[in-house]
Structure formats: structure tokens, C-alpha cells
Amino acid sequence: MNPAASAAAHATSNLRIRSLEPLIPPARLMAILPLDAAATATIVEGRRAVERVLAGEDPRLLAVVGPCSIHDLDAAREYAGRLKALAASVADRLLVVMRVYFEKPRTTVGWKGLINDPHIDDSFDVATGLRLARGLLIEVARMGLYSATEFLEPITPQYIADTIVLGAIGARTTESPTHRQMASGLSMPVGFKNSTDGSLQAAVDAMQSARAPHSFLGIDNEGGTAVVSTTGNPWGVLMLRGGRSGSNYSADVMHDARARLEAAGLPARIIVDCSHANSGKDPRRQSVVWRDVLEQRRAGDRSIVGMMLESNIHPGSQPAASDRSTLQYGVSITDACIGWDETEELLREAHARL
């Protein structure tokens, strides 16, 4: 670049960029942390199992259960081990998938999750975060347990999507064309949450959009900029999580949701998130939502294909802190969760009543 062009670029480009740090290409991280045969078999089997539930070919109820977010790998491993044993004991009536969430969208500011800030100190060591996240997901798959996660950054799937059985697009990004296009190319079923105001139509529109082929800018496995062309994803599912208008798990809302899906030419399949606005962010109310929706399912509403619980080893939440010695083991640093004992009680109760 000649001096005049360089001066012009400095005058107009990156004026608010503090730094640009190259990341390891996805293909390189996948070579360092590859899927082995056991993990691959789990993921392929899990995706097919979820698809069969969504298609109505498998009568089991999908139960997506786990921490609001992962911040402690040791606690996550312990939780996964407990959940694997429980999942096996209820597998004839419940298809259990672990929430393994690494990216946290924020309405304003706050800790953005293990991938973005693994040291919880605003150092934003994303390279380490991606490595830790992928490593944990492979460990979970090797246990024979299925993983679900929310995709927030559109580049993240290139690094971890091959390990995921059920993806999600969150309430704040369901209206985003970028995320709808991204979902159209994902290799697993994807849930679309209703908007933060509680309205359903944006998620229904997102499901329609994601079913169609798209072409958009992204990166390839070598980290190069590419035009990504997709075939469309037929395995969308509506996720109800409530909103500013209140909860949205009542029978009336279910009827409205089914009508909207059918009007859009979409399969009537719904997962209810028992946390977030449906519980008023009070973990003690997750069981109320769980039992209400379970009774709707028992009464014959087959559009209810699954439910979600935010659950950890111990109940409640605590402030995030970079000094891990000050953190309580197995307690969420984002939304408050129910504890393991209640989690097991609710899953076993559902198993007994289905």
C-alpha cells in the first residue's frame, strides 16, 4: 500500500477497534481435538433420536436439562456423569439431552460465557474458550450423553457444531437474518425461542426461513472468508420461554402456537422452557411449569415434544468472580438453577406419569 493510501485507511478504518487477534482455524482445532468413533456414534445416534421425536416417530418426551451456563469444567463433568446415569434409567419414556451452554447473550452487559471469557476476568481469551468448550463436548459425547447448546456468534458453529445434537437460537437473535441463515446450514435440529417480549411470530418466521436454502458470508474450516450456501434445515422446533408479557405455557398459548405453525405450513412441535420468563426467573417455579406442561402432554397434546430445565448440582446462583476459590462448587454464575435432587425428582416423576 502506498503512503497516501495507507494514510487514508488510517483516517477512516478501525477507528474504534482496540485490537485484532487471529484465531486458530476450525480445522486445526478439530485436528487437535478430534471426535473419536465412540463420540461420533453418540452424536449421530442422538441427532437421529431427536429427529424421530420431532417427527412423532418416537413417543418419548425430550428433556433438555442442565446448567444455565458452563463455567467450571469439573462441575460440568460431574453433572454429566450424574445425568448419564439418570438418563439411562428413564430412557424408555424420556430422551434426555444435557444443556451444555457456553455463549450467554446479554441485554446490556455481563459475563458472556466460557467461550468468550473462560477466565471470568474480561481477558476474552477466546482461543482458550473454544478449546475448553470443544474438549468438554467431546468428553460428554464419549460418556454416551447428548449435548444441546445455543449458538450466539455465527462463527462458533465451525468450531463445535459437529459435537451438538440439538441447537438453539435464543430469544434475542431469533429475529436476526444472520442466525436464521446460519440455522439453515446446521447439521442438527434447531430450536427457535420466542422473542423477549413473549410474542411467537418471530420464532415461527425463523423456522420458515431456516427451512429454506440460503447463501451468506461466513468462514470455511480453514478460517477463510467464504460464501456459505445451505440446503435448508427441516428440523426446526418452536421453543416457548415466556417474555416481558409473562409466561406462555398455558393451553391457550399452545393452541395459538399450533395455529401459527400450521398456518405457516410447519409441523406443530413445541418445546417448553420451564425457566426464564415462564418461571419468572424464580427456580422454585420451574417445577410448577414442568408439572403443568406434563399434564397437558398427558391429556393428549402431542405437539408438546419436549421441556427444558435449568439445573445444576446445587440450587441457586452466585455472582461471577475471577477468583475461583471464592465460588461455590456446582452453583450457577448466571441464572439461578434448581439443584440435582429436584432435577432427579422431576425427571423420575415425569417417567412415572408418562
- Does 78 have pLDDT greater than 80? yes
CA 62, 51, 281: angle at the middle one, nearest 5?
Answer: 35
Cα(317)–Cα(303) distance, rounded to whole angstroms?
32
User: Cβ neighbours of residue 227 under 8 Å, at least 6 residues apart?
Assistant: 215, 216, 217, 218
| pLDDT recorded at residue 276 | 95
Q: How confident is the model at residue 105 (pLDDT cuts 50, 70, 90)?
A: confident
Contact 74, 192 (CB under 8 A): no
Cα(101)–Cα(328) distance, rounded to whole angstroms?
19
DSSP-derived letter for residue 328 is: P
Cα(294)–Cα(301) distance, rounded to whole angstroms?
10
The residue-averaged pLDDT of 69-77 equals 98
User: pLDDT tens for residues 324-353?
Assistant: 999 999 999 999 999 999 999 999 999 999
| pLDDT recorded at residue 11 | 83
User: pLDDT tens for residues 3-42?
Assistant: 655 656 678 889 999 999 999 999 999 999 999 999 999 9
Cα(352)–Cα(342) distance, rounded to whole angstroms?
15
Cα(10)–Cα(24) distance, rounded to whole angstroms?
27
- β partners of residue 236: 190
Residue with the three cell numbers 423456522: 207
Give the strand pairing for 166-169 and 146-150.
parallel
Contact 305, 270 (CB under 8 A): yes
User: pLDDT tens for residues 107-151?
Assistant: 656 899 999 999 999 999 999 999 999 999 999 999 999 999 999
User: pLDDT tens for residues 194-226?
Assistant: 999 999 999 999 999 999 999 999 999 999 999
- Does 1 have pLDDT greater than 80? no
Q: Is 75 helix (H, G, I), strand (E, B) or coil?
A: helix
The residue-averaged pLDDT of 73-88 equals 98
Cα(167)–Cα(207) distance, rounded to whole angstroms?
13
| pLDDT recorded at residue 10 | 74
Domains of the chain: 22-353 (3.20.20.70)
Kindly state the cell numbers that stand for 114. 466460557
Cα(140)–Cα(87) distance, rounded to whole angstroms?
13
User: pLDDT tens for residues 146-192?
Assistant: 999 999 999 999 999 999 999 999 999 999 999 999 999 999 999 99
Q: Is 220 helix (H, G, I), strand (E, B) or coil?
A: coil
| pLDDT recorded at residue 192 | 98
Q: Is 230 helix (H, G, I), strand (E, B) or coil?
A: coil
Residue 236's nearest CA partner among 283, 301, 285, 174 is 174
The residue-averaged pLDDT of 59-64 equals 98
User: pLDDT tens for residues 264-322?
Assistant: 999 999 999 999 999 999 999 999 999 999 999 999 999 999 999 999 999 999 999 99
User: pLDDT tens for residues 305-314?
Assistant: 999 999 999 9
